[in-house]
Amino acid sequence: MAICGLLVALSAPTANAAPTTPTPLTDPARARAVAAEFGADHTGGVYYDKAGQLVIAVTDEATARAVRAEGGVAEVVKHSTATLTSARATLDRRIADADPIPNTSWGVDPSTNQLTVEIFDGVSAADEKRLMSLVAGYGDAVRVEKLPGTIRPTAYESVGGIGIYSKDGGWHCTLGFNARNSSGQKYFVTAGHCAKTDLDLWWHREAGGNYLGKRIWFDYGGIDKDYAVMEYRGEDLAAYGSVKAVGTYYEITDSRYPNDGESAKRAGAVSSDLVGEVLSPSETVTYSDGTVLKNMIKTSHCALGGDSGGPLWAGTYALGITSGTNTPDGATCNSTVSQYRTYFQPVHWVLAHHGLSVF
């Protein structure tokens, strides 16, 4: 009996030990992986809330408990990723792919748990009715907003500003990011619509006119992308892994896809906007010239003509290449404004597609 009493005394602390607290889930890639484990019918995406907290949206309390057990922050929402992506696929298939409507964009916004459809100036009443009839059946899973201005590529055909230009085409744009391949050959990326021509494009530095290099790859709307890759061929050039905005240099060490709700900076040859937010990491947009682009990044930044190709980044990560905006010509564009939209080609896709990396 004495021995049994001793065993009970020794075992008691173990039986009453506190449960282990899971490590907080702060890596967005891991959060997306956790969401994927539970499936598109039980989750509603991953996003940063206004307090900067990483959130996994879920559609039921059971999944919420499972997410919290993994260390994640869960929010129960009404609409699943499956529902929202189905609505987007419908718009892509029946409008963007079949009969595009210029000056429109749409994408899944996990932070609001909706498919956000934005209609800009220049959309006819008939086209607006056609668009609205498709989304009507999805109820509050779709939010429609009307915004001023037209969405257009941000390049302009005139001399002026700081950046890069082509003597072949007369385009003035902005260098986005420097990159290189596994052999060390250096390249730079900019917007594809800057290089959309049958001419051989030889690019120069705006300030000083130094020869930089030649266009190697590009696309503008052909495969729903907007990018150009130029190979450095000029002499006495020093290409560095950084971007410059408002007199400050920012080091860029890697690239990745953006996260919904995260803060980001944008720079251009004409204007820079260092305070902005990723509103949608994967947006379908139709520009006023009828070009349809998919899986674009939509942000709250402004941009002006000549900023095309300029960098979008967060911390030391390259995110995107400036493509289009609804910012009016002549408007004030800096970090004090936030009523505009700007669209970016994800640069991580471009680099991976061509076997390149930023440095």
Identify whether the C-beta of residue 283 lies closer than 8 Å to the C-beta of residue 343. yes
Q: Which of 277, 274, 294, 276 is nearest to 285 (CA)?
A: 294
Residue 175: CB atoms within 10 A of its CB come to 26
Output the DSSP codes for 265-301. EE--SS--EEEEEEEEEEEEEE-TTS-EEEEEEEES-
**Type of residue at 322:** T
- Of the residues 271, 308, 323, 348, only one is catalytic, namely 308
Is residue 99 annotated as a catalytic residue, yes or no? Answer: no
CA distance linking residue 161 with residue 120, whole number of Å: 28
* Alpha-carbon separation of residue 293 from 14, 32, 155, 241, 319 (angstroms): 60, 24, 16, 28, 17
State yes or no: is 140 an active-site residue. Answer: no
CA 336 to chain centre: 21
Phi, psi of 154 (to 5 degrees): -95, 10
Sheet holding 54-58, edge to edge: 43-48, 54-58, 73-76
Catalytic residue among 109, 127, 226, 260: 226
316: number of CA atoms within 13 Å, CB side? Answer: 7
> How many CB atoms lie under 10 A from the CB of residue 350?
26
Choose, from 193, 224, 260, 288, the residue flagged as catalytic.
193
Question: Known catalytic residue: 166?
Answer: no
Q: Which residues are catalytic?
A: 193, 226, 308
